[in-house]
Amino acid sequence: MNDLPTGRFDPQRFASLVLIGARASGKSRAARIAAQRTGWKRISTDERIEARLGPISTFVARHGWEPFRDEETAELASIAGTGLIVDCGGGVLEHPRNLALLRRLGAIVWIRATLPVIEARLDRAGRRARRPPLLPGSTDPVAEAAAVLARRTPIYREAADFEVWSHPEGEAGDRLVKAHFGPSMAVVAAAGADPVDTPERVTAEAFAHAGPFDLVELRWDGFARQRLDASRLRGVIRSLPRSRRARLLVTVRSPEEGGRLDRPDRERARLLLEAADAGAGAVDLEAATDRRSGWTLSRRLREAAPALRIFGSVHDLARCPRRLGALAAGMDPMDGHAGPAVRKIAVRTRSAGDLARVGRFLRDAHRGSRRVIGIGLGERGAALRVVAESLGSALATYAPPPGRNRTAPGQLDSDAVRSRAARWGRHLAAPVPVYGVLGHPVGHSLSPPMHEAAFRRAGLEATYRKFAVPPDELATFLDAARLLGVAGLNVTVPHKTAVLELLDDVDPEAERIGAANTIVRVGDRLVGRNTDASGAVRALEEGRPAGWLDGLRVTVLGAGGSARAVLSGLLASGARPVVVSRDDGKAARLAREFEAGSAPWADRARLEGDVLVNATPVGMRGGPGGSGWREARAAPDGTIAGHDAVFDLVYEPRRTALLRRAEALGKRTIPGLSMLVFQAEAAFAAWTGVEGTAGVMREAAGAASGMRRSASRGR
C-alpha cells in the first residue's frame, strides 16, 4: 500500500536490484522511487562514470563507444554490497563480460516502455544534448531508439529475471518494489488448535513471514476460546515496536461474516476502540456493525486515533452479488462524515463470471481513485489472491503463514501467493497485449524471441513471456489470465491435454488430437486450438511439391501428444503412417483411434518407409535420457537406414544425435526447428491475423540458440 511506512529493512533477505532497459525507458525515475520506498542505496553507473570522466557525450565524441563500454565494465566490477538499486546504462549488456557482473550484484529487472512513450520522452527539451548518438551518423533520436531497441530486446529478455513496465498511467518505481518483494498482503495471525498459540506467538510468527510492505492482521476473534479481554489486546499491541504497530490490522470478525466471536456489537466495538487507543495502525470495521451503530462507531474510532486507517468490510459467504460497487458505496456514512480509508469486499466466487465481476469492480474503483480490496472466497477465487493488485486492489490478499489453518475458504498461504506471483503473476499485466508460453518447465523455450521478433516485424506493440506453471496451478493460472485479459498463449508439456477441460471452447482438430498447443482469446472466452499438426506437415513439405505427402509411408516413433498431432496432420495429407512405441499396447490403441498402422517395438530395426519421425522428447537438451543411449534404442541405425528422410521434432539442440547419425548415412534430415517455426507462425496468425512471419521467427530462434550456446560456453 502506498501509505505504508518505509525504511531500511534487512537487505540480506532480498537480493539487490539491477535495472536494465532502453534509453528513456524510465529506469532512473524507477530507481529513485524504489530507493525512497526501501531505504536502499541507489547507484547510477552513468553518474559514477561522469563523476570520473566528465559528460558521457563528450567522452564518446572523443573516444567512441568501445572505450566507454570498457569504463562501464570497470565501474560495475567496483560495485559491491547489499541493499543496492543499481541503475545501468541502456547499453550495459553490449559488453559480453557485463552480464556475469550484473548477476553477481542481484536480481536483474528489465524496465520497459512502449515505443511511443520512449519517443515522447526523447522529444522533451534538453534530452538530445545530454545523450550521445547510439548509431554512427544518427541525427534522429526517435528512429535511432527504435532501431537500437529492436537489436537489444532479445539481449534484455535473456538477461532479465523479470520485467516492469513504465508508462504514463502508473509509477514504475512502485510496481518495481511490489514485483520484487511480492504482492502486498495482510499476513494473518490467528489462533490454531494448539493451546500454546498465544496472541504474542502467532503475531510474531506472522511478522516473521511478512514482507517489508505487508500488513499483519491480528484476528482477535480467533482467540474467543481463550476468553482474552481488552487489556490483553492492549498489552499485545503495546509490546510491539512502533514500526510494527503501524503495520498491524486488528480484526474482530462476527460469526455472520465468518468470524468466531459470538458477542454483541458493543463488545466487539470496545475491542476495536481498545486497539485504536493502543496504537494499532488499522482496524477492520464491518460495514453492517457501523451502520447499526448509526455510524457512531467509526466516528469514535477516528476521535480515539486520528491517524488510524479504518478498513470497512463486507463478507458475503454464500454468493457474489451483482452490484459490488453499491456494496462499497454503502459504507459511506449518511451524515456526510468520511467513509473508511479502504473498502474490503469479500464474496463467494464459484465461476469465471463471478471472478470477472470482482475484477470489473476493482478496475472501476481504481479508475475512480477509490481504495478497495477484492477477495474471492472459495477455491475458484485463488487467482484473485495472486493478481488482484494488478487489477487495482489496495492489498493483493489475506494469507496465513505456511502451515497455518485458513481463516477463510480458498486462502493460499503467504509463501504460495509469493511463489505464484513471482513465477507467473507479475508477468501477466502490461500496458500492451500480453502473450506467452505456458508449461513446466519453460526455461528452454525459443517461443519468446520468435514471437517478439514477429511483433516487431508486424509493427505491433506486445510482450511475450514464459509462464512456468506446475500442473496443480494450471486452473488458477487460466483464471488469472482471463482476469487480466491475456491475449493469447502457447501451451507446451505437460499441459497440452489437461488444458482442454479448463477452456471455454476447443476447435475440432484440437479435440480430435486430444491436445491444445495454442489458446486464442475470443472476447472473454479462451479457445483451444492445435497448430502442431499443420506445423509438422509444413515442415515435412518444405522444399517439396504440393501433395508430396500423399501416399508416403511414414514411421512415427512415440504415442504421446506430439505423435497424435503428427498423425492427425499426416492422415489429413494422405500419408500412410505406422505408429511404433516402447508400449506396444499404447501404439496399437493410438493406431486404431486414428485408423493408422502400428508395428511392434521389437521389429523397429527392420521397418522401412519414406520418412522416419521422432515424436518423443528423447534427445532433447535437458530432457529424458539426453542424446545418449535412450535415443539409440529408440532409433537404431537399422531403422534410420530403412527410411529416405528423418524428421526429429526435438529442436534443442538444433542438430540432434539422431539427425547427425541420419546425415552420416546419407539421409535427408528435417530439424525440429522447422515444425516449431511453422506451428508458431500459425498461432501468431490466429492471434493477430498477420501471416508470413516464418522467416523472421526462424532467424530469431537461430540467434537465440546461438546466444545461449555462447553463454553456456562462457560459464
Task: Give catalytic residue positions.
Answer: 496
Q: Is 510 helix (H, G, I), strand (E, B) or coil?
A: helix
Q: Which residues neighbour 481 within 8 Å (Cβ) at sequence distance 6 or greater? A: 428, 489, 526
User: What is the residue-wise DSSP string for 307-339?
Assistant: TPEEEEEEEESS---S-HHHHHHTTS-TTS---
- What distance lies between CA 424 and its chain's CA centroid? 2
DSSP 122-191: HTSTTHHHHS--SSTT---HHHHHHHHHHHHHHHHHHH-SEEEE-BTTB-HHHHHHHHHH---EEEEE--
Q: For residues 481 and 491, what is the distance between their CA atoms, to the nearest angstrom?
A: 13
Q: CA nearest 478: which of 426, 442, 425, 441?
A: 425
Do residues 118 and 145 touch, judged by C-beta distance below 8 A?
yes
Structure-block grid coordinates of residue 413:
498461504
Alpha-carbon distance of 564 to 194, in angstroms, equals 53
Bridge-based pairing of strands 525-529 and 518-522 is antiparallel
Chain centroid to Cα 250, Å, comes to: 32
How many whole angstroms separate alpha carbon 102 and alpha carbon 159?
9
Residue given cell 524507477 in the structure block:
30
* Interstrand relation of 553-557 and 185-189 (parallel, antiparallel or unpaired): unpaired
Closest listed residue to residue 387, CA positions, set 403, 378, 376, 377: 376
Query: 486430444: which residue's cell?
Result: 514
What is the rounded end-to-end Cα distance, in angstroms, of the chain? 40
If we measure between CA atoms, which residue out of 433, 444, 510 comes closest to residue 684?
Answer: 433
Per DSSP, the residues of 526-578 read: EEEE--HHHHHHHHHHTTS-TTTTTT-EEEEE--SHHHHHHHHHHHHTT-EEE
Question: Does residue 26 come out as left (phi exceeding 0), alpha (psi in the -120 to 50 range) or beta?
Answer: left
Query: Which of 436, 427, 451, 563 lies closest to 492, judged by CA?
Result: 436
CA atoms within 13 A on the CB side of 521: 18
Distance CA 270, CA 228 (A): 13
363 class by beta-carbon count within 10 Å (0-12 exposed, 13-18 middle, 19+ buried):
middle
Q: Which residues contact 435 (CB under 8 A, 6 or more apart)?
A: 451, 462, 463, 464, 465, 486, 487, 488, 489, 490, 687
Number of Cβ atoms within 10 Å of the Cβ of 318: 8
150 forms beta bridges with: none
C-alpha cell recorded at residue 266: 458493543
As given in the structure block, the three cell numbers for residue 158 are: 535473456
403: cell is 502451515
Calpha distance 671→19 (Å, rounded): 37
83 φψ region: left (φ > 0), alpha (ψ -120 to 50), beta (else): left
Can you name the residues that pair with 651 across neighbouring β-strands? Answer: none
C-alpha cell at 87: 541503475
Q: What is the DSSP string of 56-87?
A: HHHHHHHH-HHHHHHHHHHHHHH---SSEEEE
The Cα–Cα gap between 397 and 161 comes to 24
